């Protein structure tokens, strides 16, 4: 970055997680984190309480934190829960599912209206934060999108809706949803084989900021809404996009696994061979950047589900169940003894292994929670995820990796990669821990401070906590 292009001052970047609120102070001029801290997420009172504690701690190291502009992301209160409605499961519903995941949402249900035209009760049962309605290609039959909108209108649920299907059918669909909070976006699949996620992703982000956050009653302080940029997974996805364009040369295939208290998210930037895994036959195009959310894999809120999934896959035994139950009952709990740290390691290794396997579409991986997307995977879906074997770098994130020593973080990541070749996991990656949450900070700053964000993200591979070659 040339001196003329350098920005001045500092920015405070905050991530309200399900368990902990993380905050870093970024010097924009040198694109470097100068102070960082964390505090338990104060979901029981007001999220701003945890923020104020973080800001005061940062100010003790650098007084500029008190006046710094604040950019925040949030996955507190369950994050952004999206229900996708499409027409056909293997076409528009699948396209909508991919777009919803890329928008920072946890997809709680995918409805294929052609198979289940009376689905209003599913919306009422799920109570999503937002519905993403897609269907049809541009210029195609408008009836399916309009019929789906009419069915949504029959639900007693009254949350916001993003309509991103056949553009010619959108006015009639919006009319059918009269009286509800609705926004339209360009069709996610304007033509068969073409996936256009950007406009819908922006619309979902806008709805998240305008309607979802207020509806969750996470804070009564107007500062909270003012500082929010988007849902945490959406912000991290932006960081991964920046890394793929600005990272070190020769490291094009990247994988990030973020182990949280409630979910384990996997992001990959992998060049796609259209002949691989039958992708040439897919009607929904596969994009190089892919994100999946595993709502039943986590270290606190989902610890028991992680334990059961690990036992079912032969990765854990039943001795892990009491420790998992303790963590779910008290999400603020932290390990104190060596034995408790070993329990953390076992749970984290299983969560990462399962999440990576599901992301890659590996054989033998199935969700146990029927309310998470793709709860039952058909045989033809196996192997349809991105092939991660050529990934040059595996980046680990989340408190269980960030708040431990290098050798333990390396052990967790390396142990998670011990799997048969059919799992299509990274074979010989550089293992990195983003212990300064650089990707989140870069994603938060991308719009307001693009030069600083680009420079910051380059440090993920060069200055992040590199734990080892596998």
> How high does pLDDT run on average in the chain?
85
Could you tell me if residue 148 is left (phi over 0), alpha (psi between -120 and 50 degrees) or otherwise beta? Answer: alpha
Is the pLDDT assigned to residue 285 strictly greater than 70?
A: no
- Cβ-contact 83, 106 below 8 angstroms: no
Question: At CA 95, angle to CA 88 and CA 309, rounded to 5?
Answer: 95
Cite the residue boundaries of each domain of the chain with CATH code 3.40.50.2300. Answer: 78-215
- Cβ-contact 239, 229 below 8 angstroms: no
- Where residue 67 falls among pLDDT bands split at 50, 70, 90? very high
What pLDDT does 335 receive?
92
What pLDDT does 365 receive?
34
- Where residue 371 falls among pLDDT bands split at 50, 70, 90? very low
Report the first-to-last Cα separation within the chain, whole angstroms: 33
Cite the residue boundaries of each domain of the chain with CATH code 3.30.420. Answer: 1-68+219-247+436-470, 250-434
State the fold for domain 250-434. Nucleotidyltransferase; domain 5 (3.30.420)
Query: Residue range 107-132: average pLDDT?
Result: 94
Angle between helices 232-246 and 198-207 (to 10 degrees): 140
Q: Which CATH superfamily is domain 78-215 in?
A: Response regulator (3.40.50.2300)
Angle between helices 232-246 and 438-445 (to 10 degrees): 90
- Where residue 269 falls among pLDDT bands split at 50, 70, 90? confident
Give Cα 101 to chain centroid, integer Å.
7
Q: What percent of the chain has pLDDT over 90?
A: 55
Could you tell me if residue 348 is left (phi over 0), alpha (psi between -120 and 50 degrees) or otherwise beta? Answer: alpha
CB-side neighbour CA atoms (13 Å) of 468: 12
What pLDDT does 465 receive?
61
What is the model's pTM?
0.78
- Sheet containing 264-269: order of strands: 289-294, 264-269, 254-259, 393-397, 430-433, 465-469
- In b/e form, how buried is each residue of 161-189, taking b as 16+ CB within 10 angstroms? bbbbbbbbbbebbbebbeebebbbbbbbb
What pLDDT does 93 receive?
84
DSSP, res 332: T
In this structure, whether the domain defined by 1-68+219-247+436-470 belongs to CATH 1.10.3470 is answered with no
């Amino acid at each position: 970055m040339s001196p003329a292009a350098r920005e001045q001052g500092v920015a405070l970047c905050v991530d309200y997680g399900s368990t902990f609120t993380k905050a870093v102070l970024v010097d924009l001029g040198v694109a470097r984190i100068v102070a960082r801290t964390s505090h338990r997420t104060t979901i029981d009172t007001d999220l701003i309480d945890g923020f104020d504690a973080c800001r005061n701690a940062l100010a003790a190291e650098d007084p500029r934190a008190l006046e710094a502009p604040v950019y925040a992301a949030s996955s507190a209160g369950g994050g952004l829960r999206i229900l996708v409605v499409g027409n056909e499961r293997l076409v528009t519903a699948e396209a909508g599912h991919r777009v919803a995941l890329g928008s920072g949402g946890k997809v709680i249900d995918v409805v294929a209206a052609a198979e289940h035209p009376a689905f209003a009760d599913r919306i009422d049962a799920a109570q999503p934060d937002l519905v993403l309605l897609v269907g049809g290609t541009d210029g195609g039959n408008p009836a399916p999108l309009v019929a789906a909108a009419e069915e949504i209108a029959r639900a007693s649920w009254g949350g916001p809706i993003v309509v991103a299907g056949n553009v010619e059918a959108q006015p009639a669909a919006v009319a059918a949803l009269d009286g509800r909070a609705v926004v339209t976006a360009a069709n996610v699949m304007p033509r068969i084989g073409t996936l256009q996620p950007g406009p819908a992703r922006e619309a979902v982000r806008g709805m998240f900021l305008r309607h979802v956050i207020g509806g969750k009653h996470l804070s009564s302080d107007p500062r909270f809404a003012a500082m929010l940029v988007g849902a945490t997974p959406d912000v991290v996805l932006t960081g991964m996009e920046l890394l793929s364009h600005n990272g070190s040369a020769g490291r094009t295939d990247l994988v990030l696994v973020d182990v949280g208290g409630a979910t384990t998210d996997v992001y990959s930037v992998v060049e796609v061979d259209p002949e691989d895994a039958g992708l040439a036959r897919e009607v929904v195009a596969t994009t190089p950047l892919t994100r999946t959310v595993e709502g039943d894999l986590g270290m606190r809120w989902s610890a028991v589900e992680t334990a059961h999934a690990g036992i079912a896959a032969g990765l854990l035994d039943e001795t892990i169940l009491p420790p998992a139950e303790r963590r779910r009952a008290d999400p603020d709990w932290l390990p104190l003894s060596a034995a408790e740290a070993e329990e953390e390691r076992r749970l984290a290794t299983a969560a990462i292994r399962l999440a990576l396997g599901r992301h890659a579409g590996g054989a033998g991986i199935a969700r146990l929670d029927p309310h998470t997307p793709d709860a039952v995977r058909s045989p033809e879906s196996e192997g349809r995820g991105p092939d991660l074997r050529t990934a040059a770098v595996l980046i680990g994130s989340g408190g269980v990796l960030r708040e431990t020593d290098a050798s333990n973080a390396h052990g967790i990541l390396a142990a998670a990669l011990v799997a048969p070749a059919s799992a299509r996991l990274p074979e010989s990656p550089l293992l990195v821990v983003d212990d300064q949450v650089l990707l989140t900070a870069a994603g938060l700053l991308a719009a307001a401070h693009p030069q600083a964000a680009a420079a910051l993200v380059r440090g993920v591979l060069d200055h992040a906590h590199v734990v080892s070659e596998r």
